[in-house]
Every structure is written in C-alpha cells, then in structure tokens.
C-alpha cells in the first residue's frame, strides 16, 4: 500500500468529508508509484496529445494510506481512491490552471489517531 504524507488542514477536511480530492504533481516519482498501485502502464498514465491528457482508467481504484506527517506514529487513514489527471480545486490546495494527478476520495476505510 502506498503511504502519502498530507498537511493537517487537508487531512482533517478529508476526514470530515469536505475535501473530496487530493492532488499530486505530475512527476516521475508519482508516475512510477501510481502506475504500479493502479496497475496502469506509465505510458497510459502519462499519455499527452499536445494539449490535453487523455486518460482511460476511470474504473481503477486502490487503497492509499494518508498520513498527517512523516512519523509512523502520526495520525493516518486509509482511503479508497480513483485516479485521473486534471485541474484541482484551489479551495483544496491546487494551483489554478495546473494539471495534477487527482486522487478522488471514494471512501474512508480506516482512520487511526496514531499511525
């Protein structure tokens, strides 16, 4: 299972059901991890037609552990997520007009106060 650190503000908003997505930069680090986690080839995950990202993995879901900090004892939760590429919501931490890996939170499976 992939573990991703997340700031307290976003962590709490997701647990309360307010924030429905988490964003990660489109970089080789995340491309490698997400392609393995979701069982999607790197080429498919990163296919770019010159203007728009074309993605064909709407039905791909995985579990990700989000942790508020880097310590193994930090609060955490496990969420079922799907992935896409697109622009995020600036109210949820995304920069306007920037493409991200968008992790849509489909459900919280388990939350722990301490890791």
- DSSP letter string, 15-53: HTT---EEEEE-SHHHHHHHHHHHT--HHHHH-B-SSSB
By DSSP bridging, strand 2-5 and strand 61-67 are: parallel
Query: What's 68's DSSP letter?
Result: S
Burial level of 63, CB count in 10 A (0-12/13-18/19+)? middle
Per-residue pLDDT of the chain (115 residues; tens, 9 = 90+): 999 999 999 999 999 999 999 999 999 899 999 989 988 877 767 655 444 555 556 567 899 999 999 988 899 999 999 988 889 999 999 999 998 999 999 999 878 876 5
**pLDDT confidence of residue 64:** 97
Residue 54's pLDDT is 52
Q: For 46, list phi and psi in degrees, rounded to 5.
A: -110, 10
Per-residue confidence (pLDDT) for residue 84, from 0 to 100: 85
Q: Look-up: residue for tokens 């388990």?
A: 110
Q: 96, exposed or middle or buried, with CB in 10 Å at 0-12, 13-18, 19+?
A: exposed
Tokens of 58: 């709407």
Strand 99-112 and strand 76-87: pairing? antiparallel
């Amino acid at each position: 299972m992939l573990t991703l650190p997340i700031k307290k503000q976003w962590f709490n908003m997701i647990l309360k059901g307010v924030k429905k997505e988490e964003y990660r930069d489109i970089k080789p680090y995340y491309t490698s991890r997400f392609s393995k986690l979701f069982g999607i080839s790197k080429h498919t995950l990163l296919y770019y037609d010159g203007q728009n990202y074309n993605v064909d993995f709407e039905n791909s879901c995985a579990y990700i552990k989000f942790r508020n900090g880097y310590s193994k004892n930090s609060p955490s939760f496990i969420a079922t997520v799907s992935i896409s590429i697109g622009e995020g919501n600036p109210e949820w931490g995304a920069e306007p007009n920037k493409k991200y890996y968008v992790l849509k939170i489909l459900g919280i499976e388990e939350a722990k106060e301490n890791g």
